[in-house]
């Protein structure tokens, strides 16, 4: 594996510092919410994780287009990496939301439109990784992956807009809120600062982890090529 670029080393350090500051902000800087108490603090990383999940799926869709236009394998490697990172953070989003829901909604889970669309989105991208395993030919696998992520991306805006389009109990913290939502709160300035800082931090985390994951994918590709070369020589 090629040595880690200097820029990635700096990014690792900066991301870690931002993450520690974000933890301090959400736990100590932001005030306690008047009704929900401390569990409201889960909201900061819950939303940020959801943002990273959707960002991962967006990147996968963009590189899917680039692959279909150019046929370059590196775009497929970035696409797989972006979906994998997106899946992890979308899962964090769902699980942390469930933990928040228990004391606020009095249940761990309900088939609310937002929760349902988020779960469907997660399953669509989990299926992407599983279905890829079943295709041996690398070019066919990459082409299938590129088309799949483009079609699957329809689930992303649907998930984002579901709380605005359908009757839901899921709160919309930014913008207008529906009367039926449970757990709505008005953000104090310090809450807003902690929230925006969390979004920024998780964006850095996404770029950092994606870079590491892409390097891993490129290295795996290099090994496969070398195996083929050795096989031909042998």
Residues that bind another protein (CB under 8 A): 1, 23, 27, 32-42, 45-46, 49, 85, 88, 91-92, 95-96, 99-100, 102-107, 110, 169, 182, 205, 209, 212-213, 216, 219-220, 222-223, 226-227, 230, 233-234
Least distance (Å) between residue 147 CB and another protein: 26
* Residue 154 vs 182, nearer CB to another protein: 182
Please tell me whether residue 6 adopts helix, strand or coil conformation.
helix
Q: What is the CA radius of gyration of the chain?
A: 20
Least distance (Å) between residue 72 CB and another protein: 21
Q: Which residues contact 81 (CB under 8 A, 6 or more apart)?
A: 210, 213, 214, 216, 217
DSSP state of 31: P
Least distance (Å) between residue 161 CB and another protein: 23
Least distance (Å) between residue 201 CB and another protein: 12
The distance between the two most distant Cα atoms of the chain, rounded to a whole number of Å, is 71
Give burial (CB, 10 Å; 0-12/13-18/19+) of 37.
Answer: exposed
* Residue 17 vs 147, nearer CB to another protein: 17
């Amino acid at each position: 594996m090629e040595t880690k670029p200097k820029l990635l080393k700096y990014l690792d350090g900066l991301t870690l510092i931002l993450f520690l500051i974000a933890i301090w902000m959400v736990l100590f800087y932001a005030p306690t919410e008047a009704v929900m108490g401390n569990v409201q603090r889960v909201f900061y990383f819950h939303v940020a994780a959801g943002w990273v999940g959707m960002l991962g799926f967006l990147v996968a869709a963009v590189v899917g287009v680039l692959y279909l236009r150019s046929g370059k394998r590196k775009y497929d490697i970035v696409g797989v990496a972006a979906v994998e990172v997106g899946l992890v953070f979308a899962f964090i989003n769902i699980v942390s939301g469930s933990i928040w829901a228990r004391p606020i909604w009095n249940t761990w889970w309900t088939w609310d439109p937002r929760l349902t669309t988020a779960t469907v989105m997660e399953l669509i991208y989990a299926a992407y990784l599983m279905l890829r395993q079943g295709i041996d030919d690398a070019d066919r696998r990459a082409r299938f992956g590129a088309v799949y992520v483009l079609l699957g991306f329809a689930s992303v805006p649907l998930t984002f807009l579901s709380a605005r389009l359908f009757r839901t109990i899921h709160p919309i913290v930014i913008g207008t809120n529906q009367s039926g939502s449970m757990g709505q709160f008005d953000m104090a300035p310090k809450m807003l600062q902690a929230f925006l800082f969390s979004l920024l931090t998780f964006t850095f985390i996404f770029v950092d982890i994606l870079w590491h994951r892409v390097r891993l994918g490129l290295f795996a590709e290099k090994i496969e090529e070398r195996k083929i070369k050795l096989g031909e020589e042998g």
